[in-house]
Chains A and B, each alone.
Chain A
Amino acid sequence: MFKQTAAITAMNLRGLTQRLGPSSVIVIGIAVTVAVLVSVQAMALGFQKTLSHTGRPDRAIVLRGGSEAELNSTISRENTLTIMDGPGIRKDADGKPLASAEAVAIVALPQKSNDAPANVTMRGVGAKAFALRPEIHLVAGRMFQPALREIIVGTSAQAQFKGLELGSHIGIRDSDWTVVGVFDSNGDAHQSELIGDVETVLSAFRHNLFHSVTVMLESPEAFDHFKDALTTDPTLTVDVEREPDYYAKQSKQLSTVLNFVAYFVGGIAAIGAIVGALNTMYTSVAARALEIATLRAIGFGAGSVIASVMLEALLLALIGAALGATASWIFFNGNTVNTLGSNFSQIVFQLTVSPVLLIWGVVWACFIGLIGGLFPAIRAARLPVAAALRAT
């Protein structure tokens, strides 16, 4: 049977050039489906990756109780001191806690893609912020100086928004800020931000309330003790979360939406591709009715006819999958996009076409090819030999 299948398939494939139009319907249909599926999922994956790279289990973020996101939160100066005195916080060489009381403000900067103003996060950080977040490192320029209106900008922010080149000035309220450095933070959420000294930021925005406190714990296990101490302190009403948990919560909504879009769009495109494949393969079988009948008459089995039709569909599907996957990889992998995250401010991330996504694309393509081939194959095998031979 294998020999027979191989013989018929080889014959079919030689005939492919004559059926270029219909065959390209399968190939293109599947290529489009795979490309759509892979690229939308690449968006969801890229977003998740950016937020899941943010934070470490041995760091905790403290917000005012019930505020959900930093921008909503407010913490008074006295409370930040109480929080930084909490148990289980790692101490620096000079015995000071590794913690940073921070303020975030939103600055409207034009997007490079459409010039529309986007909410970019400007973060004021404490003196220990960079010991606290060793992942932040400068790639150009120098660090800002406290008390001066200087900021450093993330590479993602610089890529997506206008006016953040080294040395450029940003007018915020009645103050003028200079970009003195550019930083990279391993592609996490902070890379979409502008960072300056917290006291200078607070004074420029005429605020006296902080938004959050981030602390480095002695170990991930110290978290529960730290949290219990703060939440039972009668002078505080705060929520304490591990950084990864906080950022996972922030990304949940958009990830759900993006994943839904991927499956909805991909599913419909797949249905379209299956129908297209069925159409083509039925036509292909009908056009070769005489050929198939002759084969059956000279002793080829029904099984090998079925297998050969399905193999043809599968092969076309694989060509489509390869085209679609390559196209999505070339056009979308590493593409930088920005959108509004749940802190009411922009988050920049890269579309990530991972091998797993590509494999999934191929699996979908095979599934489409198999369904598209199965029914026409059965029809081919059932073709009454005598009637088909007489049809001409």
Chain B
Amino acid sequence: MKYFPLLWATLWRRKARTVFTLLSLTAAFLLLGTLQAANAMFSGGSLNLSAPILIVQARVSFTQPLPLRLLPQLEAIPGVSSVSHSQFFGGVYKDVKNFFPQFAVNPERWRKTSLECHLSDEQFQAWTASRTAAVAGRQLAERFGWKIGDRIPLTSQIWPLKDGSRAWTFDLVGIFDDSSKDSCVRQGNMYIRYDYFDEGRQFGQGGAGIYLLRLSDPNRAEAVSRQVDALFENSPDETKTQTEKDFTLNFVRQLGNLNLILSGITVAVFFSILLVTGNTMSQAVRERIPELAVLKTIGFSDGGVLALVLAEALLLCVLGGLAGMLLSVAALDIIAKLPIGIPPIDADLRVWLFAAASMLGLALLVGILPALRAKNLSIIEALAVR
């Protein structure tokens, strides 16, 4: 640490060059931060889906609702502690840009299955008491500034009411939170009552949507999945059962191979930044050869000089990288607010770890050759340059 002033001084020896190098590092990490956050979303890496929940869908596609009559059979399966069903509602709140998912569920069943989401007893009572009642996740309520008691109008793109109108109205009676930190993955959703929905809709009565099975033993997930699918094999309602995590990952993977291109860009940008920074470091060391020789003369060991040059590279990369990552957080924030329909993306821990590893790796790659050169410097020859 006592060498920090020395490092700092050498870094600013050529102000313009350092500023330019820092700027290009910042640009590179701004890209890396945003693209990796997007990539993490594509691969589902930022999702916390550890709940022991299985999702049962129609084998042909999850858009085909399974009938409600499967419920008793699913409940009878050993190892299943509770079963909930969920039908996508497809409602639009004021404008299509405000997209968020809504599902028609049975409140009791929903509460018993979604243990990760906490809804107070009082609000739950209110939900079961009124047929038009609905609950929303904290995140969703904050997004639109909803309070308990608000009336939420939704225009369903899929389900008309009996009279042909598509305008449904719900009363917000509850807002649910995480039971423990970041455990409730449903905070961006709204839930309406299935009984009200099923009676109100023009067609499709008796269709439950998909089923969520909560398991008493997470290790039995595979056995239970197989059992469910075997139960309905060759019936008119063949099922496909997978963990909630796989279901969500597969949903995200529907975005296709676009993320391959994002990864390609990250690699390319990284390569070019490697060149820029590498070039700067080798110049910086080349210019300072006599100075380094002086350091060695006054007693710095070979290893000490090597460490000094590497530390300089690291300082450069961390400064630029940190600035870029902070900018990427700000950029993601702004992008989420732009009216172009990119969903909110968070740079999670993994992205930061990846960035930190990149800074370290980059520093090592660009620093090692100049550092070795500094280490192997012969004092006499270096001083003789003058």
Whether the Cβ atoms of B28 and A29 lie closer than 8 Å is: no
Judge if B344 is at the interface, Cβ distance under 8 Å.
no
* A219 within 8 A of partner (CB): no
B31 & A117 in contact (Cβ 8 Å cutoff): no
> Which chain A positions have C-beta within 8 A of B260?
113
B residues bordering A, Cβ < 8 Å?
A: 16-17, 20-21, 23-24, 27-28, 30-31, 34-35, 58-64, 90, 96, 155, 157-158, 160, 164, 166, 203, 234-238, 240, 249-250, 253-258, 260-261, 264-265, 268-269, 271-273, 275-276, 279-280, 282-283, 331, 335, 338, 340-342
Of A21, A106, A278, the contact of B64 (CB 8 Å cutoff)? A106
Residues in chain A near residue B249, CB distance under 8 A: 116
Task: Say yes or no: B256 contacts A118, CB within 8 Å.
Answer: yes
Which residues in B have their C-beta under 8 angstroms from that of A279? 16-17, 20-21, 24, 276, 279-280
- Whether the Cβ atoms of B341 and A28 lie closer than 8 Å is no
Question: Quick one: given A272-B272, A279-B280, A340-B255, are A66 and B166 in contact (CB under 8 Å)?
Answer: yes
Residues 110-162 of A at the B interface (beta carbon under 8 Å) = 111, 113-114, 116-119
**Nearest Cβ distance between residue A112 and chain B, in whole angstroms?**
9
Given contacts A271-B23, A279-B21, contact A21 B279 (CB under 8 A): yes
Contact at A106–B63, with CB atoms within 8 Å?
Answer: yes
- Is the pair B275, A25 in contact by a Cβ cutoff of 8 Å? yes
A186 within 8 A of B: no
**Minimal beta-carbon separation of A349 from chain B (angstroms):** 10
CA distance A67 to B23 in the complex (A): 48
Please name 19 further chain A to chain B contacts, defined as beta carbons within 8 Å, in addition to the given A39-B264, A273-B272, sorted by A numbering. A25-B275, A43-B258, A106-B63, A111-B253, A173-B238, A174-B234, A205-B60, A205-B64, A256-B340, A265-B31, A272-B28, A272-B31, A272-B269, A275-B24, A279-B16, A279-B20, A282-B16, A283-B17, A340-B254
Q: In the complex, which residues of chain B have a beta carbon less than 8 angstroms from the beta carbon of A337? A: 256-258, 261
Kindly state the separation between the CA atoms of A189 and B60 in the bound complex, as whole angstroms: 22
Known: A25-B276, A253-B341. A117 touches B24 (CB 8 A): no
Contact A117–B250 (Cβ < 8 Å): yes
- A40 pairs with B276, CB closer than 8 A: no
Decide: B271 and A32 in contact? CB cutoff 8 A: yes
Contact B203–A74 (Cβ < 8 Å): yes
- Which A residues are CB-close (under 8 A) to B21? 275, 279
CB-nearest residue of chain A to B21: A279
A269 touches B269 (CB 8 A): yes
Distance A65 CA – B258 CA, assembled complex (angstroms): 33
B20 touches A278 (CB 8 A): yes
A residues less than 8 Å from B155 (CB atoms)? 66
CA distance A111 to B250 in the complex (A): 10
Q: Which of A28, A119, A256, A273 contacts B271 (CB 8 A)?
A: A28
Q: Give 1 or 0 for each of A72-91: 1 = CB within 8 Å of chain B CB.
A: 10100000000000000000
Assess whether A206 is interfacial by the CB under 8 Å rule. yes
Contacts of A172 in B (CB 8 A): 60
Give the Cβ gap from B365 to chain A, nearest Cβ, in Å: 15
Please tell me if the beta carbons of A108 and B62 are within 8 angstroms of each other in the complex: yes
Distance (whole angstroms) from the CB of A292 to the closest CB of chain B: 18
Which residue among A21, A25, A113, A338 has the maximum number of chain B CB atoms within 10 Å of its CB? A25
Q: Is A231 part of the binding interface, using a Cβ–Cβ cutoff of 8 Å?
A: no
A278-292 interface with B by 8 A CB criterion:
278-280, 282-283
A180 within 8 A of B: no
Q: Is the CB of B275 within 8 A of A28?
A: yes
Interface pair A29/B276, CB less than 8 Å apart = yes
Instruction: Give Cα A171 to B34, complex, Å.
Output: 41
Determine if A68 is an interface residue (Cβ-Cβ < 8 Å): yes
Return the chain B residue nearest A269 by Cβ: B269
A74 to B260: give the CA distance in the assembly, Å.
Answer: 37
6 contacts between A and B (CB under 8 A): A67-B158, A106-B63, A108-B59, A171-B59, A264-B34, A272-B27
Which residues of chain A have a CB within 8 Å of any CB of chain B? 21-22, 24-25, 28-29, 31-33, 35-36, 39-40, 43, 64-69, 71-72, 74, 105-108, 111, 113-114, 116-119, 171-174, 205-206, 209, 237, 253, 256-257, 260, 264-265, 268-269, 271-273, 275-276, 278-280, 282-283, 332, 337-340, 344, 346
Residues of A near B282 (CB, < 8 A) are: 21
Given A29-B276, A271-B23 in contact, is the A256-B96 Cβ separation under 8 Å?
A: no
Query: How many Å lie between the Cα of A338 and that of B257 in the bound state?
Result: 6
B23, B155, B260: residue with the most chain A Cβ atoms closer than 10 Å: B23
Give the distance in Å from the alpha carbon of A209 to the alpha carbon of B203 in the complex: 10
Q: Which residue of A lies closest to B19 (CB)?
A: A275
Top 7 closest pairs, chain A to chain B, by CB: A116-B253, A272-B27, A339-B256, A279-B20, A106-B61, A338-B256, A32-B272
Q: Which residues of A contact B255 (CB under 8 A)?
A: 339-340
A24 and B275 within 8 A (CB)? yes
Known contacts A256-B340, A268-B31, A275-B23: A119-B61 contact under CB 8 Å? yes
Residues of chain B with a CB closer than 8 A to A69's CB: 157
A119 touching B268, Cβ below 8 Å: no
Q: Which residue in B160, B238, B268 is a CB contact (below 8 Å) of A36?
A: B268
Cβ-defined contact, B261 with A40, below 8 A = yes
Other-chain residue from B60, B166, B203, B275 in contact with A108 (beta carbon distance below 8 A) = B60
Q: Cβ of A346 and Cβ of B256 under 8 Å apart?
A: yes
Alpha-carbon gap, A41 to B253, bound state (A): 22
Chain B nearest CB, measured from A14 CB (Å): 21
Please indicate the chain A residues that have their CB under 8 angstroms from the CB of B235 in the complex: 174
| Measured CA separation A205–B64 after assembly (Å) | 9
B256–A28 touching, CB < 8 Å: no
Q: Given A24, A32, A39, A174, which contacts B238 in the complex, CB threshold below 8 Å?
A: A174
B268: chain A residues at CB < 8 Å are 32, 35-36
Q: How close is A316's CB to chain B, nearest CB, in angstroms?
A: 13
Do B27 and A275 touch (CB < 8 A)?
A: yes
- Pick from A22, A36, A256, A271: contact of B265, CB below 8 A: A36
Which chain B positions have C-beta within 8 A of A74? 160, 203
Provide the residues of chain A in CB contact with B59, threshold 8 Å. Answer: 108, 171, 173
Name which residue of chain B comes closest to A117, CB basis: B250
A64 to B294, CA, bound (A): 83
Indicate the member of A22, A116, A209, A278 with the most B CB atoms within 10 Å: A116
Which A residues are CB-close (under 8 A) to B273? 272
CB of B118 to closest CB in A, whole Å: 31
Interface hub of A35, A108, A338 (most chain B Cβ within 10 A)? A108
A265 to chain B, nearest CB (A): 6
B residues less than 8 Å from A278 (CB atoms): 20
Instruction: Give, as a whole number of angstroms, the nearest-CB distance from B191 to chain A.
Output: 20
Residue on B nearest A260 in the bound complex, by CB: B340
Report A352 CB to chain B, min CB distance, Å: 14
Which residues of chain B are near A72, meaning CB under 8 Å? 90, 157-158
Beta-carbon contact of A40 and B265 below 8 Å = yes
Rounded to whole angstroms, the CA-CA distance of A295 and B52 in the bound complex is: 77
- Contact partner of A114 (CB less than 8 A), chosen from B27, B58, B61, B253, is B253
Query: B240's closest neighbor in chain A, by CB?
Result: A108
Chain A nearest CB, measured from B337 CB (Å): 13
Report Cα–Cα, A140/B224, bound state, in Å: 43
